[in-house]
């Protein structure tokens, strides 16, 4: 393969290593920094730039050389002539950062969720397509070999006729989590959409993965969305919520999520069938098959790192696993959450304060069982008898 121009930017080499700039290297960005170090050690990428408001120290960059550092993303891309950018910045900045990279011919790994609204998502998807650059959206669970494996089991009739898909996520976040940044726990900030709620950020993987298991990942695959949004914490966004999605294939997909669990556990997806069910713990890439008349079978699967997949795609060795269009269905759900009424504040008797890792946390009484029951029955909180959800009318969007 000969060298060719990657859009209007610098010529892209035919083979790795590719020069990469990381925008947002603290917080969750530290995970990306470690991953870049891993791939750099394998000769696949070379870190040439860090975009941060406050430069990283030598200790933070241990083993990564001396990349150029700047708070000016566009200038940094230009001066380093980077081939790739990893963007792990606040959600409202994603569209502008992605388009800045695309205009310079720089390929992208864009952290999830890709955008805080459908309009911003379309700006990204249309902009990178027009620029001719590759864009990978960072839903790491969609890089798991378990996703096509579960779909194959369903197609082969392993659990009989498919009856629906339920997702469950019961996590905890203490009060310091909502002080981590000005946009944390907000729906809007200074007139700009943020959408930092349980379903659209920390447990966004549950929504995206459940839709992927049904095979409906494009925006046009979603027929309708019902939402129930609540909050125990003193925030704007939801911390305890559920959605019921109807796909154009007629599948019912529910996801129940909370950041106020009493006893947090691994999030999972259940595919229900007339002759059994499949449970998928997407963070561990573990699948359990329950079939009538058989002992349960549990299997583990490998996972392809999404930055590594992007490198392989640029080198002509693979197809991109999570291009923007594969997250369109998730963004339809996110848009329904954005358009829904503000989350209902739970009464004080519905939750209790418990010690957290660095600050107190709020735990909603009985929410762990409600989350599990939602995944089991494809029901919303109001249909499961939660006292704080009774009388709640689900918000619907099409």
Tell me what pLDDT residue 11 has.
Answer: 62
Residue 382 predicted with pLDDT over 70: yes
pLDDT at residue 4, as a whole number: 32
Give the Å distances, CA to CA, from 359 to 101, 172, 202, 236: 38, 12, 18, 19
Flag the least confident range among 48-52, 59-63, 92-96: 59-63
CA distance 254 to 130: 34
With 80 as the cut, is the pLDDT of residue 92 above it? Answer: yes
Nearest to 210 by CA among 278, 304, 111: 278
Reply yes or no on domain 4-137 having CATH 3.90.1150.10: no
Closest CA to 212 of 118, 149, 169, 134: 149
180-208 per-position pLDDT tens digit:
999 999 999 999 999 999 999 999 999 99
Quick check: 2 pLDDT over 80?
no
Interval 334-340 mean pLDDT: 98
Q: With beta carbons less than 8 A apart as the criterion, state whether 124 and 96 touch.
A: no
**CATH label, 145-301+324-397, candidates 2.40.30.20, 1.10.150.530, 1.10.8.60, 3.30.360.10:** 3.30.360.10
- Which pLDDT belongs to residue 34? 96
Q: CA-CA distances (angstroms) from residue 170 to 16, 71, 344?
A: 40, 36, 19
Of 372 and 391, the structure prediction assigns the larger pLDDT to 372
- Report how far residue 397's alpha carbon sits from residue 339's, in angstroms, rounded to the nearest whole number: 8
DSSP 283-346: TTTEEEEEETTS--EEEE--B--HHHHHHHHHTTSS--SS-GGGGHHHHHHHHHHHHSPPPEEP
CB atoms within 10 A of CB 91: 24
Distances (CA, A) of 114 to 82, 198, 269, 358: 21, 15, 22, 29
pLDDT, average across residues 313-330: 97
Inform me whether the pLDDT recorded for 7 exceeds 80: no
Say if residue 84's pLDDT is above 50: yes
| pLDDT(5) > 50 | no
* CA torsion, ordered 152, 111, 332, 196, to nearest 10 deg: 130
What confidence tier does 3 reach under pLDDT thresholds 50, 70, 90? very low
Tokens 């599948």 found at:
251
For range 369-375, the mean pLDDT:
98
pLDDT over threshold 80, residue 393: no
Q: Round the average pLDDT of the chain to a whole number and report it.
A: 95
Given this model, what pLDDT does residue 281 score?
A: 98
Q: Where are the domains of the chain?
A: 4-137, 145-301+324-397
The string of pLDDT tens digits covering residues 212-258 is 999 999 999 999 999 999 999 999 999 999 999 999 999 999 999 99
Q: Which is more confidently placed, 228 or 394?
A: 228
């Amino acid at each position: 393969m000969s060298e060719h121009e990657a859009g209007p930017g610098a010529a892209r080499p035919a083979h790795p290593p590719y020069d990469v700039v990381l925008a947002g290297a603290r917080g969750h960005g530290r995970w990306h920094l470690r991953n870049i170090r891993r791939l750099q050690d394998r000769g696949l990428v070379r870190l040439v730039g860090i975009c941060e408001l406050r430069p990283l120290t030598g200790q933070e960059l241990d083993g990564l050389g001396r990349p150029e550092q700047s708070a000016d993303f566009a200038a940094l891309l230009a001066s380093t002539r980077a081939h790739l950018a990893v963007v792990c910045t606040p959600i409202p900045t994603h569209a502008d950062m992605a388009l800045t990279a695309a205009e310079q011919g720089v390929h992208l790994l864009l952290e999830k969720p890709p955008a805080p609204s459908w309009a911003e998502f379309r700006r990204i998807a249309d902009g990178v397509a027009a620029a001719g650059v590759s864009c990978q959206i960072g839903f790491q669970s969609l890089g798991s070999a378990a996703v096509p494996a579960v779909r194959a089991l369903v197609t082969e009739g392993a659990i009989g006729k498919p009856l629906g898909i339920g997702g469950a996520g019961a996590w905890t976040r203490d009060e310091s989590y909502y002080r981590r940044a000005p946009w944390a726990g907000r729906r809007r900030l200074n007139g700009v959409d943020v959408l930092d709620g349980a379903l659209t950020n920390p447990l966004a993987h549950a929504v995206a993965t459940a839709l992927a298991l049904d095979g409906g990942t494009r925006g046009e695959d979603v027929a309708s969305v019902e939402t129930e949004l609540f909050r125990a914490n003193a925030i704007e966004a939801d911390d305890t919520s559920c959605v019921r999605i109807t796909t154009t294939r007629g599948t019912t997909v529910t996801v129940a999520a909370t950041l106020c669990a009493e006893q947090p556990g691994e999030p999972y997806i259940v595919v229900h069938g007339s002759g059994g069910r499949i449970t998928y713990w997407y963070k561990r890439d573990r699948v359990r098959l329950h079939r009538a008349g058989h002992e349960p079978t549990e299997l583990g699967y490998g996972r392809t790192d999404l930055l590594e997949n992007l490198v392989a795609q640029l080198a002509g060795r693979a197809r991109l696993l999570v291009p923007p269009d594969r997250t369109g269905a998730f963004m339809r759900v996110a848009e329904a959450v954005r358009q829904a009424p503000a989350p209902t504040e739970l009464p004080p008797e519905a939750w209790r304060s418990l010690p957290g890792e660095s600050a107190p946390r709020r735990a909603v009484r009985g929410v762990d069982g409600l989350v599990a029951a939602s995944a089991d029955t494809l029901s919303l909180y109001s249909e499961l008898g939660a006292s704080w959800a009774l009388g709640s009318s689900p918000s619907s969007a099409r």
